[in-house]
Structure formats: structure tokens, C-alpha cells
Structure 1
Amino acid sequence: MVETYIGIGSNLGDRRDFCARALGLLGMLPQSQLVRYSSAYETEPVGDVGGPFLNLVARVDTDLPAWRLLLILKETERGMGRDPDRSSGPRTMDLDLLFYGDQVIHDNGLEVPHPRLHERRFVLAPLAELTPAFRHPALGETVASLLTTLKDPHAVRRLEEPVVPWTPGGACRP
């Protein structure tokens, strides 16, 4: 199985519920296992995209090809009310494939590692909580090092109350 990291974010509606639903759906992916996930972080939006985001990162180990995983993530966003024609702006759900193992992929809209993850505190803070020693395969730096040297001025606040994945029978912890 390939170790992947997926960014989860929401700044519309019940953000915690949307993130819980996204975690639950990641836990039901075929040929995959939701291994663990970070704390939730409340973060300032980048650009003019509405109110604060709730962000977290999940580790999902999978046998799915990267392109198939990306398609499922985009389908999940649409199923949760995201407008696929808007690349920015407020959103109920944003799912980003951050890392797909140690692979570097640039193919027909699939960019892995995510091209801006090293510039975003709202990605690096929860990612560093999960895997500080993971090396960015294109930059060669650890996640912890990228976070330490980051110049992103946007505020990020770790929340004490965890987001618990939604399941058809209710919430559960992995």
C-alpha cells in the first residue's frame, strides 16, 4: 500500500460536520485504510474566500492509483456541495492529495506533491503533527523543517476538540 496524505478543509456551513463526513468517507475508500488524522486547526483564509477554515490532514494507505484517488476526492467534494467550476472562494469541502508516497507526478491535472503545500501553514501544521520527519520528495526537506522556515503570515490555531469521523452507524475513532 502507498502512504498518502490528504488535506481536508471547509469554511461554509457546519465545518466540523463536513470534515467529519469527509473523514468517514476516506475511511470507506476501496482498497484503502484511514490510518490516522491530525487535530483540527482553525485557519485564516488565503485570499478572498470567506470566513475561517477548519483544516486537518489524514493519512490514508491505499492500493488505488494516484489518478483514481484524485478522481474520488473530486467526486467527494462535489457530493458535499462544492462547485467544481470555482477554484477559489468559500467551499463546503476541499480535499487535496498532498503526497502519494514519495512519488513526484505531473500528469493531466494530477500534481503530486501538491504544488503549494510548502507555502501554506494551514497544510504544514496538521501535516507536521502527523509526520514531522516525512521528506517532501521534490524539495528534500522534512515537513517539520518546511514548517519552521515558513514565512506564511496566516494564523493557524489548533483546536482541542477533535473531529470524529462520521460513519453510517454514527461517529467512531480509527
Structure 2
Amino acid sequence: MKTIKIDGARMLLKSAYFPRKFNNYTPHKYTAIIGLGGNIGNTSMIFDRFLNLILKDRRFAIVQSSPMLVNKAFGYASRDYINAVIILKTSLYAREVLRIMQRFERRFKRKREFKNSPRTLDLDILYFSAKSYNNEELILPHPGANSRPSVFIPLGLMKGI
């Protein structure tokens, strides 16, 4: 087997909720792929706490989560980031999901001090049921979703997508 090195990718982590397959049956009509990131505090514990909260939210059904990837920060030199991806189902529209994810970020003390600044929890809608948006509030697919190792490595490690 050949080892492939991707610049910035350091290692994979596991936790109680990452990686994991959840209930595949859901009546919700849209599929969203959400990217998680963070590098302030105990990020793997923050990810687990976030997933525990969203599992209790009837507006969403988690389908699967990826392993967590430790990778070099980009854009602003700081502590390494931890990133993961979750697939969820919802009947909400993308803008509603965006607002809810922003509320979760605030709940976990996310501050937007400057572009690519360190953060406790960053939640990005990467893809939303093959829909495209491009306005001031939301761009889908997320810019960089196809080119960032922090997205394509965790997403590529998920089985049965």
C-alpha cells in the first residue's frame, strides 16, 4: 500500500460521535453536509457536545459523521485545527439551517474577530441537496469545499455516501 501525504494533514482522531453511522431512515427531504472546525479549547469535546445537542433537535436527523482530522491552520498561523464533516437530513431550507448553525456557533462562544481567526466552533454548510446559492448571506456549494483537505479528507473517509 502506498502512503499519500497531503500538505497540512497531521492525523486522524476518534471520539464518542466521530466517526459514526446513525439512523439512515428519516422523513426529512433535504440532505446537508456540514463542515465542523475549531482550534480553541478541547475541540473534540466541543464537537461531541455539539453533536449531542443536534441529535436532540427534531429538525435534524444525523446520518453519519467522519473521523476528525488534525490539520495545519491556513490563512492565519495559529494552533492546528481539528475538522470533521457530518451528513444530516432536514426539512428546513438552507438559510434556516445557516441561522441555526450560527446560533450553535454563538452558544459555543464563537467570535468572528477577523478572517480565518482561531475559533471554538466553526460550522459551514458545504453542500445542500445539490442546490446552488450565491448571495451575500450564503454561497453553496461552499467555496473551497472541493479543494480543502479539511473537507475532502474527512468526507472521503465516510462510507456509504
TM-score, structure 1 as length reference: 0.71
Higher helix fraction (1 or 2)? 1
Q: Match for 2:117 among 89, 95, 101?
A: 89
1:80 alignment counterpart = 108
CA distance, structure 2, for counterparts of residue 31 and residue 107 of structure 1 = 24
Task: Report how far residue 132 of structure 1 moved.
Answer: 8.0
Aligned residues: 133
1:116 alignment counterpart = 144
More displaced, 102-111 or 2-11? 102-111
Task: Report how far residue 31 of structure 1 moved.
Answer: 2.2
Task: Report how far residue 84 of structure 1 moved.
Answer: 3.4
- Other structure's SS at 1:70 match: helix
2:26 alignment counterpart = none
The 3 A distance-change label for structure 1 pair 59 and 50 is same
Does the 8 Å contact 1:23/1:58 carry over to 2?
no
1:27 aligns with 2:27: no
- Other structure's SS at 1:118 match: coil
CA distance, structure 2, for counterparts of residue 26 and residue 87 of structure 1 = 26
TM-score, structure 2 as length reference: 0.76
CA distance, structure 2, for counterparts of residue 123 and residue 31 of structure 1 = 24
- Other structure's SS at 2:56 match: coil
CA distance, structure 2, for counterparts of residue 17 and residue 7 of structure 1 = 16
CA distance, structure 2, for counterparts of residue 128 and residue 100 of structure 1 = 17
Task: Report how far residue 53 of structure 1 moved.
Answer: 1.0
For 1:74-123, what per-residue CA distance to the aligned partner results, in whole angstroms no more than 9, with x for missing partners? 11111101113433211000100001011111133111110111220011
- Please provide the CA RMSD for this pair: 1.7
CA distance, structure 2, for counterparts of residue 18 and residue 84 of structure 1 = 18
Does the 8 Å contact 1:44/1:51 carry over to 2?
yes
Task: Report how far residue 29 of structure 1 moved.
Answer: 3.2
Question: Matches of residues 123-142 of structure 1 in structure 2 within 5 Å?
Answer: 123-130=151-158
CA distance, structure 2, for counterparts of residue 101 and residue 73 of structure 1 = 17
2:94 alignment counterpart = 66
